[in-house]
Amino acid sequence: MTYVFQFGIVWDHWPRLLGGAWLTLQMSGAALAIGLVLSVLLAFGRRDGPRWVRLLIGGYVEVIRNTPFLVQLFILYFSLPGLGLRLDAAEAALIGMALNFAGYGCEIVRSGMDAVPQGQVEAARALGLSPMRCFRLVVIPQAVRIAWPALASQAVLLMLGSSLISAISVEELTAVTNSLQSTTFRAFEFYFVATAMYLAMALALRLLLDALHWLLFVRGRPAERRE
């Protein structure tokens, strides 16, 4: 008995799929924003903070990077209520994604900062710039430029990883796809279309981040300094 493809059924439910994709983008965008800020703060703390802060952040990074993201989400959503803190599904998902991103982002930003030649920092201080201004005007711009490709990859991973928040009942693209395929029994059609939608979103995100990189670091610069 051969399988008859029926993509028309997918089209019937297109608005729901679009709605799910929109929620994916919203959650990912918000988590990325929070995660980036957190990454920079954690990176700073891990490089220049007192010993106990460095140890604490180091421990946090190791826990995040060595445990499954899904388990992290389950702890936030299912286990915390037992300790008295009940988070909404969306809250737990947002916090989970941001914390997870920051675990990786911290290391990426930190290595970007490490890659800025120490001579630059010394020169800046010698010129009278305060540590704060030195960090803000000399270190961060160069560190971000160096860390950009890795951060962009991590951002795309964040967006793709957002499919896991369907397991804690957030109705994003994967959740909607699962529901639709289970009621229409058109698993192949729906998963195929969902894959195509994720691919499109990931490529669009890539393009956006590359354009941003060009705007921030390439446009208007002399030819020999372009990376």
- Binding footprint of another protein on the chain (CB under 8 A): 1-3, 5, 7, 77-79, 81-82, 86, 89, 166-169, 171, 175, 178-179, 181-183, 185, 187-188
**Minimum CB distance to another protein smaller for 188 or for 214:** 188
Please, what is the minimum distance in Å from the beta carbon of residue 43 to another protein? 34
CB of 14 to another protein, least distance (A): 15
The three state secondary structure string of the chain is CCCCCCHHHHHHCHHHHHHHHHHHHHHHHHHHHHHHHHHHHHHHHHHHCCHHHHHHHHHHHHHHHCCCHHHHHHHHHHHHHHHCCCCCHHHHHHHHHHHHHHHHHHHHHHHHHHCCCHHHHHHHHHCCCCHHHHHHHHHHHHHHHHHHHHHHHHHHHHHHHHHHHHHHCCCCHHHHHHHHHHHHCCHHHHHHHHHHHHHHHHHHHHHHHHHHHHHHHHCCCCHHHCC
Residue closer to another protein, measured from CB, 67 or 169: 169
Which C-beta is closer to another protein: that of 143 or that of 165?
A: 165
Q: How near is the Cβ of 195 to another protein at its closest, in Å?
A: 12
Rounded to the nearest whole angstrom, what is the least distance from the CB of residue 6 to another protein in the complex?
10
Residue 85 vs 207, nearer CB to another protein: 85
